[in-house]
Amino acid sequence: MPSNTTVNRVLLLGNIIDEPVLVQKNNKQTLCFTLTTSEEIRKGETLLEHVEKHHIVAPGGMPENISVQKGAWVYIQGKIRTRVVFEDGVKLYKTEILATTIEVVKAVQLQL
């Protein structure tokens, strides 16, 4: 592989922890939600759970034939994107996952 070749690819399997929101900007729809992933980390004799929260952005809105909702387990493919945002005049960097594929692995069962 040439030394100037780079890869920006993310694969996540996790749980949606908030209700997905459909945002409309410049006549384009974007689906946004937060996904959590976890792993067990050993510290000495203790086993700890480490949880990461990932902000997911899916351009194009809701994928066809897929219903994503809070509590669902989904598999995401995409890339990392960091953008600059200003809050109260302070320059901040926001890192998010730009999803290219969303697959529901385990849907939420609604109780009636």
> Measured between alpha carbons, how far is 18 from 92 in angstroms, rounded to an integer?
23
Radius of gyration of the chain (CA): 17
Q: Tell me the pLDDT band of 28, cut-offs 50, 70 and 90.
A: confident
> Measured between alpha carbons, how far is 85 from 89 in angstroms, rounded to an integer?
9
> Measured between alpha carbons, how far is 30 from 23 in angstroms, rounded to an integer?
5
Instruction: Give pLDDT, residue 3.
Output: 74
Q: Tell me the pLDDT band of 4, cut-offs 50, 70 and 90.
A: confident
List, for residues 77-102, the tens digit of each pLDDT value.
999 999 999 999 999 999 999 999 99
Q: How many residues in total does the chain contain?
A: 112
Q: What DSSP string runs through 65-78?
A: T----TT-EEEEEE
- What lies within 8 Å, CB to CB, of 86 at 6+ separation is 92
pTM for the full predicted model:
0.81
* In contact, 62 and 72? CB cutoff 8 Å: no
CATH for the stretch 10-106: 2.40.50.140
